[in-house]
Structure 1
Amino acid sequence: MSISNALVHRVGHYANRWRAMRDRARTTRLIAALPQHIRKDIGWLDIPLADFIRHDGDGPSRF
């Protein structure tokens, strides 16, 4: 693989990761905006936003 192909592949990889994180964040906001009784019906727990912060490394990641 040439250097330019490797660079394009790497940028594409990070763009896909960024897009997935944005999609998850958008879904979280949409579900969190629903009334509590609907969130309860679909099994969405009231979890503090701090639990959804992305942790790089050895910590858990929900985003």
Structure 2
Amino acid sequence: MPYSKFTLSRAVEDFDLTVREESNLFAAIEPVVPTPLLREILVENVPWAVAVGSEKARFSF
């Protein structure tokens, strides 16, 4: 199923999932500083992916 057609209710039904809603699920996890390489990759590629606008472009950088 393409992401543009995804809905939570459909995923729950198709995969027999159980939704657990918890607040502060990640509260105990410390933030991680991205590496310089990751920052460089994002700076170079995110504007292109956003400009192209396709699902493939957004997830292929």
In the superposition, the TM-score normalised over structure 2's length comes to 0.26
- Bigger fraction of residues in helix: 1
